[in-house]
Amino acid sequence: MNRLILSLITCFAFSGITAGQHVSVSAELDSTLMFIGGQMNLRLEVIQPDGLNVALPIFTDTITKNIEIVSHTRPDTVRNGDMLNIMCTYRITSFDSGLHYIPPITVEYLTGEMLERQESRSLALMVVNPFAEVDIEKGIFDIKQPLTLSFSFLEIIRIANWVLLAMLASSLIVLGIHWWRKKRNPIKEILFREKPKEPPHIIALRELDRIKSDKIWQKGQIKPFYSQLTDTLRTYMEHRFNFSAMEQTTPEILKALKSINLTDEKLRSCMAQILETADLAKFAKYEPLPDENDNCLAGAYLFVNSTKVEEQETETAETSNTIE
């Protein structure tokens, strides 16, 4: 009989322990120290079996009379096998300095017909007042008012001295660079004298001689022939008459030549025939006759030789520039 009673007592004891251990509650703060008016999180975690109805605590706007709730999140549930992890975060603050006691947080649940409770451990929060005096009646103001400093003329003199010194240093650097360049130029002119630029007609005639010797139009390369021919003439006109012939169309070039006093009006007609034939050959798949190719090349020679600046005039101008 005694053994039966002892067995029943042991069974009830273990059943009570099991019922109390299958639900756990924990609470923790971000820190145990907070400045007055500051904010931190209080996290509540409940671990329970799946299917068990657990009643979480309901807080309105305070945890205790000295600790207020700013906001809180909805319970977040995570399944871990047969167990559920329920977490809820409360954003708290306090405007009363001192050590505040947070009592255990209790949750309730039913096991059969019995109402069970489980508690977290108690917490403590130290709220520190960093200010010597806090008076709400005075309102909000800066920690320290801006200081009004008296005007000092010596400070202006000190700054002006630095400005004058910087200007003097800049002037000396500029003079030094100018003197160095002026002194270096005669040496450069003696040792590294640049060759005089060739007149435009010399360059053009040399290029026309190359085109004539290659005779690529006789090999069926009509487009390359007219491209080289017109590029040579455009480069010559650009340097001889000072207009951007390389970037202009045929009508624009002919209009520019019309405003130039050419010695013979037939030269403009000659240039028009060359450029228009080249446009047809390059863009309209036109195949000029062999005589037309020869005439265009001869016309290019005629235009350059008829509009070139005489070598005697060029030499006279160079001589006068050398004497000066």
Domain boundaries, the chain: 23-129, 200-314
Q: What is the pLDDT of residue 154?
A: 73
Q: Which residues contact 263 (CB under 8 A, 6 or more apart)?
A: 306, 307
Is the Cβ–Cβ distance between 29 and 42 less than 8 Å? yes
What pLDDT score does 143 carry?
A: 65
* Separation CA 317–CA 319 (nearest Å): 5
Report the distance separating Cα 182 and Cα 179, nearest Å.
5
Answer whether 74's CB lies under 8 Å from 80's CB: no
Give the CATH number of domain 23-129: 2.60.40.10
Residue 119, token pair as written in the block: 């508690």
105 token code pair: 């947080």
Query: 118 near 106, Cβ under 8 Å?
Result: yes
DSSP state of 216: G
Across the chain, which has 324 residues, the per-10-residue mean pLDDT values are 40 39 86 91 91 84 90 89 90 91 89 84 90 62 67 74 88 87 59 70 94 91 93 94 91 90 84 93 88 92 89 48 42
Whose tokens are 């008296």? That residue is: 150
Q: List, as one string, the DSSP characters of 212-237.
A: HHH-GGGGT-HHHHHHHHHHHHHHHH
> Residue 9: what pLDDT?
38
The runs of H, that is alpha helices, within the chain are: 2-21, 153-191, 200-214, 222-241, 250-258, 266-283, 290-307, 311-323
Give me the pLDDT at residue 212, please: 92
DSSP single-letter state for residue 249:
-
Question: Which pLDDT score is estimated for 195?
Answer: 62
